[in-house]
Structure 1
Amino acid sequence: MKIAVCVKAVPDAAAGRRLDPTTKRLDRTVELAISDFDTYAVEEALRLK
């Protein structure tokens, strides 16, 4: 059986959020991590296999 799981890198929630002082936009230079929901999906796919 072949199983595919799509994952997305999102800003790390533990790193916090900051605004760029010059542009007043969200600072996108924070570290990325796999979302919790995607982690659960990968775990379930491994269990099924």
Structure 2
Amino acid sequence: MIKESFGSRLFDIINISLFIVLSFTMFYPLLYCLVLSLSSEVYASQGGFFL
């Protein structure tokens, strides 16, 4: 097995971290809309829920 260099491992760590943050910023609004659509109108209009 070929040993990975430090730069390659650092790139992998930064790349994975970036994709986790990017996927969270795309997933959170979808989750917010799903929770809002499933909650009651009165409770949602008062803004009484937080994710």
Q: Which has the larger radius of gyration?
A: 2
Shared fold by TM > 0.5? no
Greater per-residue strand proportion: 1
Q: Normalised by the size of structure 1, how large is the TM-score? A: 0.37
Task: Compare the two structures and name the one with the higher helix fraction.
Answer: 2
Query: What TM-score, normalized by structure 2, do the two folds share?
Result: 0.36
